[in-house]
Amino acid sequence: MLTDGSTARDALTSLSEEESAFRDAVAAFAEQEVRPRVQEMERATRIDPALLPALFELGLMGIEVPEQYGGAAGSLMMVTLAVEEISRVDASAAIMVDVQNTLVAYPIARYGTDEQRQRFLPRLASKVIGAYALSEAGSGSDAFGLATRAEKHEGGWSLSGRKLWITNGADAGIFVVFATVNPAAGYKGITAFLVERGMSGFTVGKKEDKLGIRASSTTELVFDACIIPAANVLGEVGQGYKIAIETLNGGRIGIGAQMIGVARGALEATIAYVKERTQFGTRLAEFQGIQFQLAQAATELEAARLLVYNAARIRDGGHPFTREAAMAKLFASQVCERVTSLCVELHGGYGYTKDYPVEKFYRDAKIGTIYEGTSNMQLQTIAKLLLK
């Protein structure tokens, strides 16, 4: 009989011994290194620079990167576990890890040339933050309505345009940037480029002042005739849309992991609170009304976790996973909003103050329904595949 909670959860989600050990190591890291920094990072609206070397040293910034390039040669499931455990403590630190692995290192490892892998992956695994630049002011859900233009230039390409909502923008040294080389060709003109901080004509613009994940930098990128060497084209010219779609599909699993981590953190804090808080001479945890709400939240959270883990397993197995990734992100973000909202309510007036952690979890939850494809876009994807 399974009596230990963590052991039971491992059985339900079929974690291997290696995965369980990895998850526990990340959880310990999050408690020891991230949690003491959360409040100050929130106030400063930036990730503590002293935390970054620790993320690299633990191998969290190159989980799927092959060993020959300095990575851990892990799986998306391991990325999922890492993002969940860090999100339970701080969603901002978690999204830095998520973007690094799912949106930057993965497409370079998957589509890059041998020379590009040698040039970029060891740095991403050891010391350099990455960012993914697809969105623009007029191109959000319409992801391929890009205005950023790449024109042929002697020895390469000249990039001009602006990108918006770029996670890790203020911290990154390597950027996966999408631009059109032929607007008349529509999505078939989209091409991916590897851009490095310091390239002439490239600047990082305004940093957004956000509702949640405030320590995570979200910026504008500005390209003014930025010269990109031909060797920095990722994949084939005109095939950038394929790279973007596949990469985002995997990234949505990471966002699902972030959301179940945020919901977990809020729920755990709330369970501890209701065990201590008394009203009418009785602990809140003894009221059946409170018990039932917590039970419902825990059930929905477990269902969301299984959807996320299942999507990661399917992708790691080399099977089509677009529908499962969309379902995982959709449901996990919905559950996270519901659970964190409940947690604020169960704290009463205290939940509306910064003295307790649930208000931050509540603010961090909202982004899950927006970035890497809104909930409506996930519904559209699921419906299209159901009716195909």
> In the predicted model, what is the mean pLDDT of residues 193-207?
98
Q: What is the CATH number of the domain that holds 273?
A: 1.20.140.10
pLDDT exceeds cutoff 70 at 259: yes
Range of the domain at 65: 5-129
**Nearby residues of 87 by Cβ (< 8 Å), 6 or more positions away:** 94, 257, 258, 259, 260, 261, 262, 264, 265
The pLDDT, as a whole number, for residue 141 is 85
Q: Are residues 138 and 120 in the same domain?
A: no
pLDDT exceeds cutoff 50 at 166: yes
359/346 Cα distance (integer angstroms): 11
Q: Each residue of 369-380: pLDDT tens digit?
A: 999 999 999 999
33 included as an active-site residue: no
The band of 46, judged by pLDDT with boundaries at 50, 70 and 90, is very high
Strands of the chain (E only): list them. Answer: 130-133, 149-153, 156-167, 174-180, 190-196, 202-207, 218-229, 233-234, 278-279, 282-283
**Nearby residues of 242 by Cβ (< 8 Å), 6 or more positions away:** 235
What pTM value is reported for the model? 0.95
The domain tally of the chain equals 3
Q: Are residues 247 and 344 in the same domain?
A: yes
Q: Are residues 283 and 373 in the same domain?
A: yes
Q: Are residues 10 and 25 in the same domain?
A: yes
Q: Are residues 119 and 135 in the same domain?
A: no
> In the predicted model, what is the mean pLDDT of residues 85-105?
98
The pLDDT, as a whole number, for residue 13 is 59
Q: What is the CATH number of the domain that holds 161?
A: 2.40.110.10
- Candidate list 19, 64, 136, 372, residue with the active-site label: 372
Looking at the DSSP bridge assignments, the partners of residue 226 are: 159
> In the predicted model, what is the mean pLDDT of residues 238-254?
97
Q: What is the CATH number of the domain that holds 98?
A: 1.10.540.10
